[in-house]
Amino acid sequence: MDDLIANNTLYNFYAPFIPPERATQIKESMKSNYGGNIHTRIGLSASNISQPQYFRFCSQCLQEDEEKYGEFY
């Protein structure tokens, strides 16, 4: 479960910027059947920054990834 969280979620991007005990609570919520409090613990529900409607990416970086790795990162 830890590998799944580390390699397939945004946990590693948020964890360094929140208190360690809260990061642990968030990870435990991700492992449980109830993850409804994760956004609240991270602080997203209180944020006034709106989430973009569409995924954004750099087309030049996308092409460079495909040339270098054979796929997109």
Quote the pLDDT of residue 6: 93
> Which residue intervals of the chain are DSSP H helices?
2-8, 11-14, 20-31, 38-42, 59-69
Residues 57-72 have a mean pLDDT of: 93
Listed by start position, the domains of the chain span 1-69
**How high is the mean pLDDT of the chain?**
87
State how far the Cα of 16 lies from the Cα of 22, in Å rounded to an integer.
11
Has this prediction a pTM greater than 0.85? Answer: no
Q: Where is pLDDT greater, at 64 or 49?
A: 64
Pair 31, 11: CB distance under 8 Å: no
Check residue 47 and give its pLDDT.
Answer: 65
pLDDT in tens, 18-50: 999 999 999 999 999 877 778 888 877 666 777
